[in-house]
A and B are shown apart, each in its own frame.
Chain A
């Protein structure tokens, strides 16, 4: 792929990853948040985090399909953006929703499976983000690859978090869960001439 295409693709990635955040800020200034703004921004950031995580899972299959190694370069920024939104999401929960009332959080939430699943996903994303710099890749060697396969359970936890928190009709989270499941399952298809899976 030509360098100009590559640059364009990266610019597009950054713009689309930052767009949901820009929209939240815009909506806040123009009164576009719902009457329950904390719930609104909690959901939006959670939603963006799972979308970016899902897209990052698509990078490897996309490379296998097209042979373009550039897709692999998108994996890291996508994963980091997902972590970025998940961090805001979690901070909203702790700081805005519960006003840093640790006692209340501790009393109530570890019992709720949707929170446990979210936390599990977050802890994995955090460890992947910490080990994402090139320096760490070199230092950890083979262990790095193993560690970063943890993104699969992270995405499963994130999907479970979403499915469990919805009340009533679960069609919407189930669509996400199905896409994630499909992206994980295609990895089981044996690698062909186009490229090697990782």
Chain B
């Protein structure tokens, strides 16, 4: 597997085993705290101990595959994995269409074969205030788009998730306007950080993580990373995402990670790394400012959130 070192957090920081122990001992004191609220002070000491851990250690695989926001299955993060278990991801096809000179329907195996996979370790920040560090396997979306050869009117990319209420129980509820749709500006889609992921930790994606192929845009909130993609369309007008449709005052088109722009109901200033218990300060563009800030020069980010 090809690795592109530029995006990889040094592996010297990887201390998963000890981090795991930290977590256990912390939770132990949390358990005590439950029994006797006075014990909380002790727990705070454990938090201090947990601070010894490097912030950017990759999240444990067990956590990545058991704690998932995937409303097509459930709004309960811990319930998703079991409900998604039987999702049929092969056969699967991804249609690349819209304002392109060479539309094409890829069989998932063809897609994987033609574009291959390299590992990229990215931070992922959920809008809810937690985050993970995930070793993705995938390829740059720009390669697929270049292959399709966009027409000059193409300004945005629109992504669509599978619509199949039989397999996806969450889609039987009409609160959301299924299917899930997301969009990127063409320059965002062509940015070299933007990935189509097909695996995690060298294993094929599991359904709860968006199998067989999903979007990864590490400087944006996690909900932009649309899962189980069936259609990628080049379009002229800005797509309306499912979350914009649901609550446009709370979820914008850009959804760039930004500690200075609060969600109306909670702060975005800090986040908690899964597997760790401290809060860390959220970084502008999730720490990818160097790679992406140029695209938003002169834009009022509080307005275009």
Contacts and interface: CB of A to CB of B under 8 A. Distances in A.
A39 B274 CA distance: 10
A95 B176 CA distance: 36
A168 B175 contact: yes
B272 interface: yes
Contact of B31 (A28, A35, A91, A101): A28
A98 interface: yes
Main secondary structure of the interface of A (DSSP, over half): helix
A98 B265 contact: no
Contacts of A91: 33, 37, 40
A109 B267 contact: yes
A35 B272 contact: no
B35 interface: yes
Given A28-B27, A104-B270, A171-B175, A99 B37 contact: no
A164 interface: yes
A9 to B, nearest CB: 25
Interface in B21-40: 23, 27-28, 30-31, 33-35, 37, 40
A21 interface: yes
B67 interface: yes
Nearest to B251: A167
A108 B129 CA distance: 13
Contacts of B107: none
A38 B23 CA distance: 11
Nearest to B38: A91
Contact of B279 (A25, A41, A99): A99
30 contacts: A24-B31, A25-B31, A28-B27, A29-B31, A33-B27, A34-B67, A35-B62, A35-B66, A35-B275, A36-B77, A36-B274, A37-B23, A38-B30, A38-B272, A38-B277, A95-B40, A96-B44, A99-B278, A100-B44, A104-B270, A104-B279, A107-B267, A111-B262, A111-B267, A164-B265, A168-B75, A168-B246, A169-B173, A169-B175, A171-B175
Would you list the 10 A-B pairs with minimal beta carbon distance, nearest first?
Answer: A35-B67, A35-B63, A108-B267, A95-B40, A28-B31, A169-B175, A34-B78, A99-B47, A35-B274, A25-B31
